Structure 1
Amino acid sequence: MVMKSARQAQGSNTSDNAGKPPITHAVVRKGAGVAGKVLDHAFALAFRGLVYAQIWEDPEIDMEALAIRPDSRVVAIASGGCNVLSYLVADPAAITAVDLNTAHIALNKLKLASAQHLPDYKHFRRFFAEADRPSNIAAYHAYVAPFLDEPTRSYWEGRDLTLRRRIGGFRKGIYKRGLLGGFIGMAHLLARLYRVDLHAILDAPTREAQRTIFEAQMAPVFDRKFVRWLTEQPAALFGLGIPPAQFDALAGDQPMAQVLRRRLEKLACDFAVEDNYFAWQAFSRGYSRDADAPLPPYLQEANWDKVRARADRVTVRHANLTEHLAAQPDASLDRYVLLDAQDWMSDAQLNALWREITRTARPGARVLFRTAAEPSLLPGRVADDLLARWTYHGEASADYTRRDRSSIYGGVHLYELGA
Structure 2
Amino acid sequence: MADIAQEAGFRKNQKLKDALLQHKALSRQGFSERLFGLLFSGLVYPQIWEDPEVDMIAMELSDQHSIVTIGSGGCNMLAYLSRSPKKIDVVDLNPHHVALNRLKLAAFRHLPGHGDVVRHFGMDGIRTNSKSYDAFIAPNLDAATRAYWDKRSIAGRRRIEVFDRNIYKTGLLGRFIGAGHLIARLHGIDLTQMAEAKSLREQRQFFDARIAPLFDRPLIRWITSRKSSLFGLGIPPQQYDELASLASDGSIAPVLRQRLEKLACHFPLRDNYFAWQAFARRYPKPEEGTLPTYLKAENYRAIRDNAERVTVHHASFTELLAQKAAGSVDRYVLLDAQDWMNDEQLNDVWSEITRTAAPGARVIFRTAAEKSVLDGRLSPALLDQWSYLEERSSELNLEDRSAIYGGFHIYVKKA
Shorter-chain TM-score bucket reads over 0.9
1:399 has 2:395 as partner: yes
2:88 is aligned with 1:95: yes
Runs of 5+ consecutive residues of structure 1 not aligned to the other structure: 1-16
Superposed CA offset, 1:269-294 (max 9, x none): 00000100000000011101225632
Please, which of 326, 351, 356 is the counterpart of residue 355 of structure 1? 351
Post-superposition Cα deviations, 1:359-389, rounded to whole Å, max 9, x if no partner, equal: 0001100000000000111021001111111
**Partner residue, 2:15:** 22
Change (3 A) 1:222 1:18: closer
8 Å CA contact retained: 2:269, 2:289: no
What amino acid is the match of 1:378?
Answer: L
Q: Which amino acid aligns with 1:246?
A: Q
**Which residue in 2 is equivalent to 1:154?**
147
- Which of 121, 131, 137 is the aligned partner of 1:128? 121
- Check whether the contact 1:156–1:167 (CA below 8 A) recurs between aligned residues: yes
SS in 2 for 1:96: strand
Per-residue CA deviations over 1:29-73 (Å, capped at 9, x if unaligned) read: 137871111110111111111111100000000000001121100
Report the secondary structure of 2:128's partner residue: helix
Q: Note closer, same or farther for the CA distance 1:98–1:160 as it changes in structure 2 (3 Å cut).
A: farther
TM-score, reference length from structure 2: 0.94
User: CA contact under 8 A between 1:133 and 1:171: conserved in structure 2?
Assistant: yes
Q: Determine the structure 2 residue equivalent to 1:311.
A: 307
Aligned equivalent of 1:273: 269
Of 339, 347, 363 in structure 2, the residue corresponding to residue 343 of structure 1 is: 339
SS in 2 for 1:336: strand
Aligned to 1:201: 194
- Count of matched residue positions in the alignment of Structure 1 and Structure 2: 403
Give the CA deviation at 1:21.
Answer: 2.5
* Counterpart for residue 6 of structure 2: none
Residues 190-199 or 159-168, more deviating: 159-168
**1:164 offset after TM fit, Å?**
3.8
What is the deviation of 1:90? 1.3
**Which blocks of at least 5 consecutive residues in structure 2 are unaligned?**
1-9
Which is bigger in relative contact order (C-alpha 8 A, separation at least 6)? 1
**TM-score for both structures, normalised by structure 1:** 0.94
Q: Percent identity?
A: 50
Matches within 5 A, 1:7-406: 21-30=14-23, 34-160=27-153, 164-254=157-247, 255-291=251-287, 293-406=289-402
SS in 1 for 2:69: strand
**Separation in 2 of the partners of 1:196 and 1:19?**
41
Question: Who is 1:13 aligned against?
Answer: none
Alpha-carbon spacing, 1:402–1:116, altered in 2? closer, same or farther (3 Å):
same
RMSD between aligned residues: 1.6
TM-superposed CA distance for 1:159, in Å, is 3.0
CA contact (8 A) 1:351 1:382 kept: yes
